[in-house]
Amino acid sequence: MAEENKNLSVADAILAETADLYEDEVDAVAEEVVADVREEEKKAAEKSSEKSSEDVAPAKRSSAFVPALKEKASETAAEVESAASSAATAVTAAATATAAEVSSVASAPAATPVPEAGPAFKKSEAVAAIEAKEAAKLERKNEREEKQAAKRNAKRARRQALIDQCPKEYKPVATSTFFWCGVLCYLPILGVIFTIIFSIFPINKNIKNYARAVLIGYCILLIVTMILCLILFFVTPTATKNEILAAIQKIKGAIKF
């Protein structure tokens, strides 16, 4: 709305300047014609005063010159009127064209604002440029985030499709399932029992393989322990062996089933 009011004010100024220009031209033409008429009348008066002492024939010629002068004055007045009418027509045409331009500018949806001079206008232009850059940067950032989100969603969709296509015994197992299986398998004494159960009965192959790996670890640990015990038994002196055996016997005697 402010831009339309500004455009209308500019158009009014243009119309006023155009009308003043044509009015000045008409006034100048009229003044020239009036000056010519007055000069002719002055000359005629001088000639009539000079010829007043002469005979009747020159008087008849001066009397005949006056109608000619009046005729010329009427012709000059007609020229002035025609010039004024043409000037008025030109002013009307210019006003119509300017009004059409103003209406087209006012009806335009995205009219170009009239540039204003001064530091305030330059500052507003700089602020608008900075805001446009920030808006473009934000738009690029949003587009980049949307593309990344679309890629992640597509990746999840492909992964879920692969999971859905897997048979039940080969479906992936969650991390929490492996954690609780490990807790049960590494319990003292009971862990071996749970490990044997998980390595035989579950339908899912992943849990079975995990339990079998833990069971293999238990077997390796047992074998290593037995080897170390034999080495220590043969390396240890006889007196120490006898003390160890006596201690074991005392423990057996203390334990009553």
pLDDT of residue 184: 93
Residue 136 has pLDDT above 60, yes or no: yes
pLDDT of residue 27: 67
Radius of gyration of the chain from Cα atoms? 59
pLDDT of residue 233: 82
pLDDT: which is higher, 96 or 57: 96
| Closest listed residue to residue 89, CA positions, set 157, 38, 25, 9 | 25
pLDDT of residue 59: 42
pTM above 0.75, yes or no: no
Residue 154 has pLDDT above 90, yes or no: yes
Q: How many helices (H) and strands (E) does the chain have?
A: 7, 0
pLDDT of residue 196: 93
CA atoms within 13 A on the CB side of 123: 3
DSSP-assigned letters across all residues of 175-237: HHHHHHHHHHHTSTTHHHHHHHHHTTS-S-HHHHHHHHHHHHHHHHHHHHHHHHHHHHHHHS-
pLDDT: which is higher, 64 or 146: 146
Q: What are the residue boundaries of the structural domains of the chain, listed by start? A: 2-114, 121-165, 173-254
Residue 168 banded pLDDT, cuts 50, 70, 90: confident
What are the tokens at 189?
């004494």
pLDDT of residue 13: 59
Average pLDDT of the chain, as a whole number? 74
What is the average per-residue pLDDT within 143-154? Answer: 93
Q: Are 195 and 214 in contact (CB under 8 A)?
A: yes
pLDDT: which is higher, 194 or 117: 194
Distance in angstroms (rounded) separating the CA atoms of residues 50 and 45: 9
For residue range 29-47, list pLDDT tens digits in order: 567 766 776 777 777 777 7
Residue 132 has pLDDT above 60, yes or no: yes
What is the average per-residue pLDDT within 90-102? Answer: 61
Instruction: Return the minimum-mean-pLDDT range out of 75-84, 175-184, 193-202.
Output: 75-84
Q: Are 112 and 35 in contact (CB under 8 A)?
A: no
Distance in angstroms (rounded) separating the CA atoms of residues 163 and 27: 96
* C-alpha separations of 165 from 152, 156, 173, 179, 209 in Å: 20, 14, 15, 25, 21
Percent of the chain having pLDDT more than 70? Answer: 58
For residue range 182-218, list pLDDT tens digits in order: 999 999 889 999 999 999 988 889 999 999 999 999 9
* C-alpha separations of 246 from 18, 90, 153, 178 in Å: 131, 137, 70, 44
Distance in angstroms (rounded) separating the CA atoms of residues 78 and 72: 10
